């Protein structure tokens, strides 16, 4: 009697087929798995709990083609986007395609690999870990990346090795006649007691529509340490759906900081999975949005073993009609005792029409843990503005300073000076847009 | 310097008038004290004069060096040399005292065609001013009022006053919440800043501040008006007899409504 309703899949919004053109057998196998998952998983709607606040129109009202069919513009000179600290430690991807010409990797410690996945497909670590860390049930976006990627970035840091130069993974997107999709991929393997800093950037060079679906996988062996900054400055018409995941062995430390400035629709699902006792991790975020932007973070901090310290500070500034969603899950498994986990979501609403949904979600099955969370939504206080104004600062400057102060804490976590400067300029530009 | 004429004001969007015809004249070199019970409109007067957007002037005018400033924004008034020491200084985590003061100092300098100070010159300039309130260097790099004790907050207001060197300062209950040591430091600071070119209006509930900063004039504020003015002896009288006695006396004389 009942009628089976055929729901759309991710492929409904993609023109043509997602056929693998990867040379590597390992990558083709992941592509195949991704396609199967895609065909069997319906595209999310607002009826799905994880998507109930998000309007996915910017994807569902469009069709996205392969890059080859989009007639994309040349990249031109992008040297302004290079980080002075990482001049010889940079991988560049243009619309998701590796550019050997723009990349520059020199002077790395012995046996460190910073290169593209396709060229390293036979590397044992790639074969062993690529595609094994992502773990998103009922998801269509990670499988879409699985199905479509043919290349990506690969970083390998051997045992007891410290890479002092920050490693810059620069994804740029150019103007194009048609809306296209891109599936950037990053695999990081940190061997025992290795250490590095990764700056992963996504920059839209023009004002065009595209769909950016990156997957990043971090395999952190015993005692390894990573500082992972992710800066999203996609075009204001782009959709960016991110799947960054890290898995931590004993004594590993993974600290991630996601900065969201661009994209019409940003959805970020960071996950950190504890794979042994005694780990430390951070899942921080800073969101600055205005206009009709939507930024949605659904994070999972998954404590499966005893003795973890984890921390999440998610800061959001919303202006105009922009909309922020935060769903921060903290899981603590039954035997995962002595967990010290702290989550804080602070929202600053600058306009009457801006919207914030926040939902801390703690699921704790152990009894000897210290887990806390807090969420606040506030406005700039008139009294604060007046205080600064009474000292001679213009109202605009006073507001700018207060938003700047709010964002500062997150920016200071970057650890790379040029990135901090760049972000502070972005903050100032953001507050100035307020006055136009 | 300052001339307030028949000033009426209310909270924007509300009907109840808080200031009901204030008249006050302040000349260079003078120190005034405005005393009065809670709710008499003392703090409102200081906020209205410094341009708080929450208040609306419904009648009268505020002349500063002959110019009507009633419609100016708070920052424009600051550029002319007005300063308000807050009763409840606002905490601004993330912005240091130094950052705020350099921005403020240079904004005021620009507005008055004076030379701005570069970071090094400014460092020297404010470090010198720390003596006014007997604070250490570290005070400069702390976030504005964040985690400050009540006394430190009030000292910080006087420190800002010293740095910005205003022509006319309103001190809104600067003495409240201060222990005797802090009160001495703050008063000494104010006395160091006072000279024959600037003027100070202190707003206070109690006489004790006036023992440390001697006012030339004392005014009593009640129900939105300055109802009586005099010299220091008026403060002593108030301390001895309280506001009620004064109110009764005025009613008997038919001076109060």
Q: What is the pLDDT of residues A86-104, one digit of tens each?
A: 999 999 999 999 999 999 9
Residues A258 and A384 in one domain: no
Residues 74-93 in B contacting A (C-alpha not used; CB under 8 Å): 74-75, 77-79, 83-84, 86, 89-90, 92-93
- Please compute the mean of the pLDDT values over residues A182-209 and round it to a whole number: 97
User: Which of A382, A392, A401 comes nearest B75 by C-beta?
Assistant: A392
Is the ipTM higher than 0.85? The answer is yes
Structural domain boundaries, residue A236: 10-269
pLDDT of residue B66: 92
Q: Which residue has the higher pLDDT, A323 or A5?
A: A323
pLDDT of residue A231: 97
Q: Do B100 and A401 touch (CB under 8 A)?
A: yes
pLDDT of residue A436: 43
pLDDT of residue B257: 45
Q: Predicted confidence band at A131 (pLDDT cuts at 50, 70, 90)?
A: very high
Contact between A9 and A38 under an 8 Å Cβ cutoff? The reply is yes
Residue A329 included in any domain: no
pLDDT of residue B205: 84
Residues in chain A closer than 8 A to B83 (CB atoms)? 390
Crossing angle for the helix pair A395-411 and A382-389, to the nearest 10 degrees: 110
pLDDT of residue A4: 56
pLDDT of residue A12: 86
Residues in chain A closer than 8 A to B164 (CB atoms)? 391-392
Distance from CA of A17 to the nearest CA of B (A): 51
- How many residues make up chain B in this entry? 257
pLDDT of residue A1: 47
For chain B (257 residues), the mean pLDDT of every run of 10, in chain order, is 95 92 96 92 95 94 94 96 95 90 96 94 93 87 90 93 96 91 93 95 90 94 92 87 81 59
Residues in chain B closer than 8 A to A406 (CB atoms)? 94
Residue A352 included in any domain: no
Query: What's the rounded Cα separation, in Å, for the pair A436 and B31?
Result: 43
**Pure H helices in A110-267:** 124-129, 141-148
Question: What are the tokens at B129?
Answer: 């001013």
Rg of chain A taking only CA atoms, in angstroms: 21
A380 touches chain B (CB under 8 A): no
Q: Is B163 helix (H, G, I), strand (E, B) or coil?
A: helix
Residues in chain A closer than 8 A to B53 (CB atoms)? 382, 386
Residue A326 included in any domain: no
Distance from CA of A383 to the nearest CA of B (A): 7
pLDDT of residue A55: 84
- Angle at CA A52, nearest 5°, toward A47 and A53? 155
Residues in chain A closer than 8 A to B104 (CB atoms)? 391-393
Residue that is last in its domain, among A238, A269, A300: A269
- Tell me the CA distances in angstroms from A432 to A63, A346, A351, one per residue in order: 34, 21, 14
For an interface test with B, which of A380, A390, A396, A405 has the most B Cβ atoms less than 10 Å from its Cβ?
A: A390
Residues in chain B closer than 8 A to A387 (CB atoms)? 86, 89-90, 92
CATH no. of B2-13+37-46+54-214: 3.40.50.300
Q: Do B90 and A401 touch (CB under 8 A)?
A: no
A110 touches chain B (CB under 8 A): no
Phi-psi domain of B39 (left: phi exceeds 0; alpha: psi -120 through 50; beta: other): left
Residue of B nearest to A384 (CA): B90
Residues 155-194 in B contacting A (C-alpha not used; CB under 8 Å): 160, 164
Q: Predicted confidence band at A137 (pLDDT cuts at 50, 70, 90)?
A: confident
Residues A105 and A237 in one domain: yes
pLDDT tens digits, A406-429: 988 888 888 899 999 999 889 888
Query: Mean pLDDT lowest for which of A119-123, A354-358, A427-431?
Result: A427-431
Distance from CA of A156 to the nearest CA of B (A): 37
- Tell me the CA distances in angstroms from A34 to A27, A44, A138, one per residue in order: 10, 17, 12
A397 touches chain B (CB under 8 A): yes
Q: Do A386 and B53 touch (CB under 8 A)?
A: yes
Contacts of A273 (CB under 8 A, 6+ apart): A135, A245, A246, A247, A248, A302, A304
Q: Is A21 exposed, middle or buried (0-12, 13-18, 19+ CB in 10 A)?
A: exposed
Query: What's the rounded Cα separation, in Å, for the pair A70 and A16?
Result: 12
B223 touches chain A (CB under 8 A): no
A420 touches chain B (CB under 8 A): no
Mean pLDDT of chain A: 93
Q: Do A391 and B95 touch (CB under 8 A)?
A: no
A428 touches chain B (CB under 8 A): no
User: Which of A394, A405, A406 comes nearest B75 by C-beta?
Assistant: A394
Q: How many CB pairs under 8 A join A and B?
A: 76
Residue that is last in its domain, among A269, A287, A303: A269
Q: What percent of chain A has pLDDT over 90?
A: 81
- Please compute the mean of the pLDDT values over residues A359-372 and round it to a whole number: 93
Q: Is A129 helix (H, G, I), strand (E, B) or coil?
A: helix
**DSSP per residue, A235-267:** -TT-EEEEEEEEEE-TT-EEEEEEEE---SEEE
B100 touches chain A (CB under 8 A): yes
**What are the residue boundaries of the structural domains of chain B, listed by start?**
2-13+37-46+54-214
pLDDT of residue A297: 98
A395 touches chain B (CB under 8 A): yes
Residue A341 included in any domain: no
Residue of A nearest to B82 (CA): A390
Residues in chain B closer than 8 A to A390 (CB atoms)? 50-52, 74-75, 77-78, 83-84, 86
pLDDT of residue B241: 85
A404 touches chain B (CB under 8 A): yes
- Angle at CA A41, nearest 5°, toward A37 and A43? 130
A75 touches chain B (CB under 8 A): no
pLDDT of residue A214: 98
pLDDT tens digits, A264-309: 999 999 999 999 999 999 999 999 999 999 999 999 999 999 999 9
pLDDT tens digits, A322-350: 999 999 999 999 999 999 999 999 999 99
Q: Do A404 and B79 touch (CB under 8 A)?
A: no
Q: Do A406 and B94 touch (CB under 8 A)?
A: yes
pLDDT of residue A240: 98
Q: Do A404 and B75 touch (CB under 8 A)?
A: no
pLDDT of residue B254: 60
pLDDT of residue B135: 86
Residues in chain A closer than 8 A to B90 (CB atoms)? 381, 383-384, 387
pLDDT of residue B78: 97
Contact between B155 and B186 under an 8 Å Cβ cutoff? The reply is yes
Residues A73 and A192 in one domain: yes
Q: Do A386 and B104 touch (CB under 8 A)?
A: no
Q: Do A391 and B90 touch (CB under 8 A)?
A: no
Query: What's the rounded Cα separation, in Å, for the pair B31 and A329?
Result: 60
What is the model's pTM? 0.84
pLDDT of residue A11: 86
Mean pLDDT of chain B: 91
Question: What are the tokens at B1?
Answer: 């310097």
Residue A305 included in any domain: no
Query: What's the rounded Cα separation, in Å, for the pair A70 and A73?
Result: 9
Residues A249 and A396 in one domain: no
Q: Predicted confidence band at A132 (pLDDT cuts at 50, 70, 90)?
A: very high
Residues A112 and A242 in one domain: yes
Q: How many domains does chain A have?
A: 2
Residue A359 included in any domain: no
Residue of B nearest to A397 (CA): B103
Q: Do A392 and B79 touch (CB under 8 A)?
A: yes
Q: Do A397 and B107 touch (CB under 8 A)?
A: yes
């Amino acid at each position: 009697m009942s009628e089976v309703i055929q729901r759309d899949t991710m492929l409904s919004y993609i023109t043509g087929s997602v056929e693998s053109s990867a040379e590597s057998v390992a990558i083709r196998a992941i592509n195949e798995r991704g396609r199967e998952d895609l065909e069997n998983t319906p595209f999310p709607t607002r009826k799905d709990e994880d998507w109930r606040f998000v309007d996915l129109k910017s994807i569902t009202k469009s069709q996205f083609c392969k890059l080859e069919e989009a007639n994309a513009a040349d990249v031109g000179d992008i040297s302004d986007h290079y980080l002075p600290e990482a001049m010889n430690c940079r991988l560049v991807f243009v619309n998701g395609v590796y550019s050997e010409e723009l990349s520059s990797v020199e002077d790395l410690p012995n046996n460190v690999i910073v290169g593209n996945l396709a060229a390293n497909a036979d590397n044992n670590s790639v074969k062993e870990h690529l595609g094994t860390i992502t773990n998103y049930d009922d998801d269509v976006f990670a499988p879409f990346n699985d199905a479509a990627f043919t290349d990506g970035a690969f970083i390998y840091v051997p045992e007891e090795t410290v890479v002092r130069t920050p490693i810059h993974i620069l994804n740029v997107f150019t103007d194009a006649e048609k809306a296209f999709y891109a599936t950037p991929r990053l695999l990081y393997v940190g061997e025992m007691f290795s250490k590095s800093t990764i700056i992963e950037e996504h920059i839209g060079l023009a004002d065009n529509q595209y769909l950016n679906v990156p997957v990043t996988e971090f395999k952190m062996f015993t005692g390894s340490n990573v500082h992972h900054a992710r800066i999203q400055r996609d075009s204001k018409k782009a959709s960016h759906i991110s799947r960054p995941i890290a898995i931590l062995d004993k004594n590993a430390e993974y600290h991630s900081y996601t900065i969201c400035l661009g994209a019409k629709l940003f959805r970020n699902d960071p996950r950190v999975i504890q794979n042994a006792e005694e780990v430390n991790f951070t899942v921080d975020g800073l969101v600055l949005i205005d206009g009709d932007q939507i930024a949605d973070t659904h994070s999972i901090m998954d404590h499966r073993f005893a003795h973890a310290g984890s921390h999440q500070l998610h800061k959001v500034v919303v202006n105009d009609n922009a909309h922020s969603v935060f769903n921060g899950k903290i899981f603590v498994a039954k035997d995962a005792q002595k967990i010290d986990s702290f989550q804080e979501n602070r929202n600053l609403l600058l306009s009457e029409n801006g919207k914030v949904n926040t939902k801390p979600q703690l699921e704790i099955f152990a009894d000897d843990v210290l887990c806390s969370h807090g969420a606040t939504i506030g406005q700039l206080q008139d009294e604060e503005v007046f205080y600064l104004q009474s000292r001679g600062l213009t109202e605009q400057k006073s507001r700018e300073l207060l938003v700047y102060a709010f964002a500062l804490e997150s920016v200071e976590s970057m650890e790379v000076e040029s990135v901090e400067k760049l972000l502070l300029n972005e903050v100032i530009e953001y507050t100035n847009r307020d006055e136009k | 310097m300052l001339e307030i004429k028949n000033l009426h004001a209310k909270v924007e969007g509300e009907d109840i008038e808080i200031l009901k015809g204030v008249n006050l004249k302040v000349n260079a070199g003078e120190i005034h004290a405005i005393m009065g019970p809670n709710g008499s409109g003392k703090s409102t007067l200081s906020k209205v004069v410094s341009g708080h957007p929450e208040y609306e002037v419904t009648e009268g005018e505020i002349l500063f060096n002959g110019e009507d400033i009633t419609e100016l924004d708070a920052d424009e008034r600051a550029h002319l040399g007005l300063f308000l020491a807050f009763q409840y200084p606002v905490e601004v985590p993330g912005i240091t005292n130094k950052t705020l003061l350099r921005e403020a100092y240079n904004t005021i300098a620009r507005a008055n065609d004076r030379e701005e100070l570069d970071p090094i010159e400014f460092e020297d300039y404010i470090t010198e001013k720390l003596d006014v309130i007997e604070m250490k260097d570290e005070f400069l790099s702390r976030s504005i009022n964040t985690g400050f004790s009540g006394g430190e907050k009030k000292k910080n207001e006087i420190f800002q006053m010293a740095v910005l060197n205003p022509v006319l300062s309103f001190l809104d209950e600067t003495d409240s919440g201060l222990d005797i040591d802090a009160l001495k430091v703050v008063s000494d600071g104010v006395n160091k800043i006072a000279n024959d070119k600037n003027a100070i209006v202190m707003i206070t509930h109690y006489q004790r501040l006036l023992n440390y900063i001697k006012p030339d004039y004392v005014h009593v504020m009640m129900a939105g008006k300055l109802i009586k003015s005099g010299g220091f002896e008026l403060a002593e009288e108030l301390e001895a007899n309280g506001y009620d006695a004064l109110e009764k006396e005025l009613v008997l004389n038919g001076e109060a409504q």
